[in-house]
Structure 1
Amino acid sequence: MGLPIGVFGQAFTGRISDSQNATPLPYASIGIKGKSIGGIADSEGYFHINIANAAVTDTIVVSYLGYHSKTFVKRDVMQSQYEIKLDPYALQLNEVVARGKREVIVIGNKNPSARYTGWGDYNSSRGRLRGVAVETNETPLKLGKFKMHLEACEFDSVRFRLHVLPLGENYSGDLKAELLKENVFFNAYKGQRWVDVDLSKYNLVIHQNIIVAVEWVDAWVKSEERNESYQLTISTSRKEGFLYSRKTPEETFSVLRLKYTPTMYLETYKLGNQKVSDE
């Protein structure tokens, strides 16, 4: 399951794949539980996480949406490389059957301002997250589209992972309570302003207020043409609310009440003359 000891607890490295078919799990999360230590795997499931600042009793969590997580204790990390295989959940998807004309209901922050929030350089920002609380009195609602306005995207392409979470008491949020049943990745491109993601195929119906958030998982440029960072920023709207941020997978959200919050919104519709059934 690995090679002889070579890192002496300073790094946790290896590859993460599906236990049934050995396919890599791109951008799987690896982090020290409750601490700002960790990161994500690359597009082929390979990871290299610096755990030098973790205590010997700290727990390392390896997770991927739709799969059972695995944990390691730092003091037991004795190999230079691990091949980690995660077991998939048996997915049960809701089937939503629509009949008749749908009335679109927009929830969230739709109008961008000249302000923005965002990330720094590519390497330090993979796995970082920005999100906003979305409140509505119209539930239940089916999610149709997610939209986000970028203030700047100077990379040729950036890949995001979408998160939809229940809004907890006192505006708390927990990534372990993900409402999506599988990873939703999408790309934004150089110079693009509005990013549009079709969610209708995921058949997600919300019954409560939510947090919608995006996680930066990858970015590409054809060539490094300058020394300074490329910009990636999300416009903020002139709407007071709660901003959610996080640097590594296993740390808790930082929650701030601000006058300007990320320009992210959802196009939804009422169930109306529809039925929801389990497959």
Structure 2
Amino acid sequence: MDRKVARNHLLHIASIVMPNAMMESVLLITLMLGINNYIFSQAQITGKVIDAKNASPLAYVNIGIKESSIGTVSKEDGSFTIVIPFEYQTDSLTFSMVGYHESNLSIRDLVEAGNVIVRLEVKTTQLEEVLIAGEKLVAKRYGIKSRGAIHFTDGIFKKDDSFEIGQVIHLGIYPAKVTSVNFHINSSRPDSAIFRINFYRYDEEENTPKERIIDKGILQRHPVNEGWLKLNLSDSNIIITGSVLVSIEFIPETRKDVDQIFYEVKIGGSSKSFFRETSLGQWTRPPHHYCIYVIAITDKNAPDEDGDEETVPTHTLTSDFSSEPYSLFVNLPRDYSKDNEKIYPVIYLLDGNVYFDPVVNSVVSYTKKKKISVNPIVVGIGYENAYVMDSLRNRDYTFPKALPSDSFKLSGQGDRFYDFVKKGIVSYIDSAYRTDKTNRTIMGHSLGGYFVLYALTRNMEGVSVFNNFIAASPSIYYHDHYLIKELGDSSTHNRNLEGINMYMTMGALEVLESQWSDFEQMSMILTNRKLRIHTEIYKNMDHMGTAIPTFENGIQLFMNN
């Protein structure tokens, strides 16, 4: 079975923290007004990129503002057009192509110049000869080498800019000659496509791709047929070691009627994947992994890369309102077994099938680097598998029952799910582990973020179950803004939420028209409720990209004394 992962790709994080209600209001209004102004304050730059020595046109040059959502690529004849919003007009426009020196030019100067000619200088690189020596050389595969039992599809094909997806591979200390890069296409299309293969150094400490390590322009055009696509690199002499991000860059076509390219992704597992939606944009981590692997010739003694298996649930629970079991994924702090008297705070994470592994990786990293002073137990609340999760989360994370305009087939059982979380899951975890019953966090994204806010309303009914709430891009619009009305009800204002911590975020590029006003209104309501509220807007990001950074930042915020 194939399942489309309906989502929008997002860009990098540029955090704006608003310390109090007045600042929140002013900042949000400013941003909203700014967005309207940009529509009327854009500058267009047109021109051509050529080789500085022989004046030949340079095709597929990456053009953009670094770490932003603004970018394009030059066409086959070297020409380009890019629209620059007002907020970026004091920045520089970068022209980058493998084998050439990067050029950074003032946007203001380019706008004033009109139709510009950009000349790139060839980069002279002296390559060190690397020999692959060993007792015996063998071909090994690194990356995600197989599809999951349940198939998920993603697909992006931008009309005016490149789009890049990448998978981290770990080669160890042995040099390896890459002979091919492979990825799985999930549906055929009549048109062929151009792909660029890139290799970047991966920084384990910072958990991010860095500079390009292979200074070769590797462009290939291939038919787009369902199945594994092999990008042959046998003659490219690509020799690498260590941890590397291998990426596939989708080059846009000049025609406007070209279909998207749909490719395989996997849910769960400990692999690290990245994407960026624009040329020179910031790398972002998706909630899934790309089915990309390389074949490389290396020493037979080189260690094999660990398989990327989906984490197995630690516990399975059933409820009295659903026939489907719930999976609980549990990660204990490293020192849990050292002190039998010590108790630990617990973080409850919704959509555990998707987010448990990356969140645990972050918690482990923060513990090692001492970025958090309190080491939590992490409990991912999930389902039997990621396939059923798609519909069951709609049922469990929403209350009341959806309106026709919400277009949900299953919905409205959030009240019963909350009771199950409280009396079933939390009670079970408290009985099975040494937990700090005064320090519980719940966090979720999108509809999961809506449920976090709904859980907050239930906290007003009596004894608090959770004291920390983390809501990433909550779907506040649901049921005609039900939660805004519920939390804003003046008749319940005597039931304040003092002592409760809230971290709520959204992306500056959220697509729903009401998202900005919803976020502002909810922020004001929660501030009036006497919560300790922290709000953050991620610049150049839309809905799906806010999940992991929100969870990471929220953990650092609340897991420090």
TM-score, normalised by the number of residues in structure 2: 0.42
- Matched residue SS, 1:93: coil
For the pair 1:116 / 2:153, whether they are aligned, the reply is yes
Question: Aligned pair in 2 of structure 1 residues 237, 18: CA closer, same or farther (>3 Å)?
Answer: same
The structure in which a higher percent of residues are strand is: 1
Shift of residue 181, structure 1, vs aligned partner: 1.6
Shift of residue 198, structure 1, vs aligned partner: 2.2
The structure in which a higher percent of residues are helix is: 2
> Out of 292, 296, 300, which is 1:268 matched to?
296
Instruction: Give 2:168's aligned residue.
Output: 133
Instruction: Give 2:209's aligned residue.
Output: 173
Question: Aligned pair in 2 of structure 1 residues 22, 219: CA closer, same or farther (>3 Å)?
Answer: same
> Out of 96, 100, 103, which is 1:67 matched to?
100
Instruction: Give 2:183's aligned residue.
Output: 148
| TM alignment of 1:184-223, pairs within 5 A | 184-219=218-253
> Out of 110, 130, 139, which is 1:104 matched to?
139
Over the aligned positions, Cα root-mean-square deviation in angstroms equals 2.5
Shift of residue 149, structure 1, vs aligned partner: 1.1
- Matched residue SS, 1:62: strand
Question: Aligned pair in 2 of structure 1 residues 220, 87: CA closer, same or farther (>3 Å)?
Answer: closer
Residue identity opposite 1:245 in structure 2: F
- The structure whose Rg is larger is 2
Q: Any conservation in 2 of the 1:141–1:270 contact (CA below 8 Å)? A: yes
Q: Any conservation in 1 of the 2:45–2:115 contact (CA below 8 Å)? A: yes
* Cα distance in 1 for residues equivalent to 2:105 and 2:116: 11
Using the aligned pairs only, state the percent identity. 22
Encode CA deviations 1:48-77: one digit per residue, 9 max, x unaligned.
Answer: 011134433211111111111111112222
Runs of 4+ more than 4 Å apart:
94-101
* Cα distance in 1 for residues equivalent to 2:85 and 2:254: 28
Question: Aligned pair in 2 of structure 1 residues 9, 86: CA closer, same or farther (>3 Å)?
Answer: farther
Instruction: Give 1:231's aligned residue.
Output: 260
Please, which runs of 5 or more residues in structure 2 have no aligned partner? 1-40, 301-561
| TM alignment of 1:12-31, pairs within 5 A | 12-31=45-64
Please, which runs of 5 or more residues in structure 1 have no aligned partner? 1-7, 273-279
Q: Any conservation in 1 of the 2:159–2:252 contact (CA below 8 Å)? A: no
- Matched residue SS, 1:167: strand
TM-score, normalised by the number of residues in structure 1: 0.81
- Greater length-normalized contact order (CA 8 Å, ≥ 6 residues apart): 1
Shift of residue 98, structure 1, vs aligned partner: 6.6
Q: Any conservation in 1 of the 2:91–2:106 contact (CA below 8 Å)? A: yes
* Cα distance in 1 for residues equivalent to 2:274 and 2:62: 18
Question: Aligned pair in 2 of structure 1 residues 240, 115: CA closer, same or farther (>3 Å)?
Answer: farther
Residue identity opposite 2:140 in structure 1: I
Question: Aligned pair in 2 of structure 1 residues 255, 205: CA closer, same or farther (>3 Å)?
Answer: same
Question: Aligned pair in 2 of structure 1 residues 102, 146: CA closer, same or farther (>3 Å)?
Answer: same
- Matched residue SS, 1:202: coil
